[in-house]
């Protein structure tokens, strides 16, 4: 059969350790046999970031904006121990943070659901996608210890007393955000909700934080009313704002199937809760969406160092490639949508279905075997490559039906 053609390339960002191994196998076993793959390739391995003084990361981020769709392998964010391990010239920043800054984007995390792995909240039958604002607030806060004294907040000559400590000791903190960043966050959320055709929820604590959180609420509402209301109505989806306490209660009672936008700290905490409740980090996908409509797909997990050490020692590994595969299929699907390439979209959808069905039929990697229970299905643990080969067989079977 002829391979599926692509008209515009994907931006491909290779990475480190076990995920770099999976990256090549996913391509060799599941993509290259079927797609005449076109990519603009960047090697974001720690060695190449060091060799290029991290210029390669910036080039890759800019390429994502230029071409519109990228797919990224997990990468090492170096710490002191890694600096020594690789003899690095310096401690480079997280590539994800660099790319996020270039794309001015918001990260959306969504779990891959399979029958047999039941979420800890049984009513969650559809994915809950968390959109976390990844700028400012407590992550860029300025903090002080006070030993008595009066704390004031002051900008451009306007002053407000924060607290009169008198002779007490205590602590204080100042947070900031910018209208520009909140606007980008809101725009990315509305764009993503439209692209996924899912309802968008947004929640803060605006009843208590009458200026700070309220500004988030107002910016979201203004952008929705002026730019997205009609598009949402046409798409049959809904935007609504509610207080975070109410949102938490509603989320617990919900069936899932929506996007939940959250401020930086709320998103940090809630994404760990939601990921755990849905099963395994290895089944969690992540996409960075820029307000200009560029997309960067990746797995939410890291480079799985512990498994890589086994691989280096020549031992068999059973590392889950689902999130890495879904990064590829997500990117190919989006490329297909942008280029009007229905064959590419069908390929990506069939490949996702094949991987889900493979697990539902009992063939999976070791991280899932303890979580999976489906009556009448015998569980078989496969090694890293064996799982990909099983998905390939199922994909071929889908094509002949």
Q: Does 270 bind ligand NAP (CB under 6 A)?
A: no
Name residues whose C-beta falls within 8 Å of residue 177's C-beta, 6 or more positions apart in sequence.
135, 136, 137, 212, 215, 216
Angle between helices 95-103 and 55-67 (to 10 degrees): 40
The dihedrals phi and psi of 356, each to the nearest 5 degrees, come to -65, -45
Q: Does 265 bind Mg ion (CB under 5 A)?
A: no
Q: How far apart are CA 13 and CA 74, in angstroms?
A: 9
268 binds, among Mg ion, ligand NAP, none (CB under 5 to 8 A by kind): Mg ion
Shortest separation between residue 16's beta carbon and ligand NAP, angstroms: 7
Name residues whose C-beta falls within 8 Å of residue 322's C-beta, 6 or more positions apart in sequence.
112, 282, 283, 355, 359
Q: Does 319 bind ligand NAP (CB under 6 A)?
A: yes
Q: Does 191 bind ligand NAP (CB under 6 A)?
A: no
Among 6, 258, 367, 394, indicate the residue that binds ligand NAP (CB under 6 A).
Answer: 367
Determine how many CB atoms are found less than 10 A away from the CB of residue 65. Answer: 19
Q: Does 181 bind ligand NAP (CB under 6 A)?
A: no
Q: Does 350 bind Mg ion (CB under 5 A)?
A: no
179 binds, among ligand NAP, Mg ion, none (CB under 5 to 8 A by kind): none
Q: Does 126 bind ligand NAP (CB under 6 A)?
A: no
Q: Does 246 bind Mg ion (CB under 5 A)?
A: no
Place of tokens 């204080």: 172
Among 303, 329, 341, 355, indicate the residue that binds ligand NAP (CB under 6 A).
Answer: 303
Q: Does 355 bind ligand NAP (CB under 6 A)?
A: no
Among 57, 204, 320, 358, indicate the residue that binds ligand NAP (CB under 6 A).
Answer: 320
- H or E segment and range at residue 174: strand 169-174
Q: Can you give the length of the chain in residues?
A: 401
Q: Does 281 bind ligand NAP (CB under 6 A)?
A: yes
The dihedrals phi and psi of 333, each to the nearest 5 degrees, come to -65, -45
Shortest separation between residue 336's beta carbon and ligand NAP, angstroms: 24
CA distances to 96, 241, 341, 354 from 268, in Å: 15, 19, 36, 31
Per-residue contact track with Mg ion, 92 to 131, x per CB under 5 A? ----------------------------------------
CB 101 within 8 A of CB 41: no
Q: Which stretch binds Mg ion (CB under 5 A): 122-130, 213-221, 268-276, 293-301?
A: 268-276
Among 199, 218, 268, 337, indicate the residue that binds Mg ion (CB under 5 A).
Answer: 268
Pairing of strands 284-289, 295-299: antiparallel
Per-residue contact track with ligand NAP, 94 to 113, x per CB under 6 A? --x-----------------
Q: Does 306 bind ligand NAP (CB under 6 A)?
A: yes
- The alpha carbon dihedral of 24, 29, 31, 32 has a sign of positive
Q: Does 75 bind ligand NAP (CB under 6 A)?
A: yes
Q: Which stretch binds ligand NAP (CB under 6 A): 56-64, 68-76, 150-158, 254-262?
A: 68-76
Determine how many CB atoms are found less than 10 A away from the CB of residue 140. Answer: 12
Q: Exposure pattern of 333-350 as b/e (b: 16+ CB <10 Å)?
A: bbbbbeeebeebbebbeb
Q: Which position's Cβ is nearest ligand NAP?
A: 302
**Residues in the site for ligand NAP, rule: CB under 6 A?**
74-77, 96, 281-282, 298, 301-306, 319-320, 367
Name the site residues for Mg ion (rule: CB under 5 A): 268, 272
């Amino acid at each position: 059969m002829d391979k599926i053609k692509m008209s515009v390339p994907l931006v491909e960002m290779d990475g480190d350790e076990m995920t770099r191994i999976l990256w090549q196998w996913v391509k060799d076993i599941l993509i290259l046999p079927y797609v005449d793959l076109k990519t603009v390739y960047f090697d974001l391995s720690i060695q190449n970031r060091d060799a290029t003084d991290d210029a390669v990361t910036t080039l890759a981020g800019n390429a994502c904006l230029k071409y519109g769709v990228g797919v990224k392998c997990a990468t090492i964010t170096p710490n002191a121990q890694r600096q020594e391990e690789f003899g690095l010239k310096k401690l480079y920043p997280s590539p994800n943070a660099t790319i996020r800054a270039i794309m001015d984007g918001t990260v959306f995390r969504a779990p891959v659901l399979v029958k047999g792995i039941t979420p800890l909240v049984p009513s969650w039958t559809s994915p809950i996608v968390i959109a976390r604002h990844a700028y400012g607030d407590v992550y860029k806060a300025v903090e002080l210890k006070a030993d008595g004294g009066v704390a004031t907040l002051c900008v451009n000559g306007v002053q407000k007393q924060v607290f009169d400590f008198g002779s007490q000791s205590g602590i204080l903190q100042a947070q900031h955000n910018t209208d520009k960043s909140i606007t980008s966050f809101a725009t990315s959320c509305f764009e993503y909700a439209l692209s996924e055709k899912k309802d968008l929820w947004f929640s803060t604590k605006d009843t208590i934080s009458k200026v700070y959180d309220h500004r988030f609420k107002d910016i979201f509402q203004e952008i929705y009313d002026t730019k997205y209301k009609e598009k949402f109505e046409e798409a049959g989806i809904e935007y609504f704002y509610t207080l975070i306490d109410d949102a938490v209660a509603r989320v617990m009672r919900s069936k899932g199937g929506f996007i939940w936008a959250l401020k930086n700290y709320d998103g940090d905490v809630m994404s760990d809760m939601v990921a755990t409740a849905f099963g395994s980090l290895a089944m969690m996908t992540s996409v960075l969406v820029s307000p200009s409509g560029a997309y960067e797909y990746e797995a939410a997990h890291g480079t799985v160092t512990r498994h890589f050490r086994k691989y280096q020692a020549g031992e068999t590994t059973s590392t889950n490639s689902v999130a890495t595969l879904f990064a590829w299929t997500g990117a190919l699907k989006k490329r297909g949508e942008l280029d009007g390439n229905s064959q590419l979209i069908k390929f990506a959808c069939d490949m996702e279905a094949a991987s889900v069905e493979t697990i539902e039929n009992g063939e999976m990697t070791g991280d899932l075997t303890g979580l999976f229970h489906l009556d009448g299905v015998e569980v078989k643990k496969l090694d890293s490559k064996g799982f990909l080969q099983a998905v390939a067989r199922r994909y071929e079977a889908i094509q002949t039906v």
